[in-house]
Structure 1
Amino acid sequence: MAHTAHANSEPLPTSPEQLLARLDELGIRTVTHAHPPLFTVEESKALRGELPGGHCKNLFLKDKKDQHWLVVALEDAPVALNSFDKVIGSARLSFASAERLWARLGVRPGSVTPFALVNDTERTVNVVLQQAMLEHDPLNYHPLLNDRTTAIRPDDLLRFIRACGHEPRIVDFGRHG
């Protein structure tokens, strides 16, 4: 467990400020709100008050072929790991460890975000975005730390992900009704 403690004291490979500067360089306008650290969807719901837009969850998964997946969806979208591999065409899925998360995306549990793709310079992570999520404007994600939330337009999110060298898979799942 010493390794995890070490990762917690290491500086982030990309700071939130560096991320926001990169978005700015790409001509992407965002709005960032500071708040106490949030670790769960429930905490986020309780705190956010009137922040407009789509609120999301981010799942960092690995499959049994050792591929990594970042699944980004609306916070209430059902993602059943025992059947979700069929939805995205992966091998059997499980949650990846905090060590893998740090090694691949350079963020800690509770701060998983599509913005962390800025750190996946080897492009080892497969990106899956929920179609229904992209119908919300703006979308809200942590900018690499969970003590703030950054709002971004869905088309700008796609532009950012592609600028990081990833082509996201947009998948229609988890619609209610």
Structure 2
Amino acid sequence: MVRSQADDAFELKKSEPWSTTWLQQFTILLKRGLKERRHESFDGLKIAQVVIISILCGLLWWQSDTAHLQDQSGLLFFYTGFWGFFPLFQAIFTFPQERDMLTKERSSGMYRLSSYFMSRTIGDLPMELVLPTFFCIVTYWMAGLKPNLGSFLYALCALLVD
């Protein structure tokens, strides 16, 4: 039996489940995700909420004295509580909205789930870190916490990792 090149190409294509590499899928999904979600992350209502809460926190803890360590600990506790739950409530509605689209595209074999998840995570990360950084800049200096750059950066890193 003589096999043609078309048969060999068909066999090769049949054994390869994806027509593109993982990196190509990731890159395309990342570009698409940045275009779609750029406006969601910097929604006017979301920005207004963070600005108002940061100003209120700054005023509530205005220049708190270093002798009142419990007051400063309370502010840092509020940091972790607020920035633990604020993004959580935003994320609750993310995947249910995209589920139908994701199911349809995955069933047609357009991309791997890992490339979708990684592009989504890496694309959202910088956009999701801007508002907590702004919040920390405003409240840290208004509250009069330890006024040196190293302490500020430590508090900022702790907030962003939370």
TM-score (norm 2): 0.25
Larger Rg: 2
The answer to which structure has the higher strand fraction is: 1
The answer to which structure has the higher helix fraction is: 2
TM-score (norm 1): 0.23
Q: Which has the higher contact order (CA 8 A, sep 6+)?
A: 2
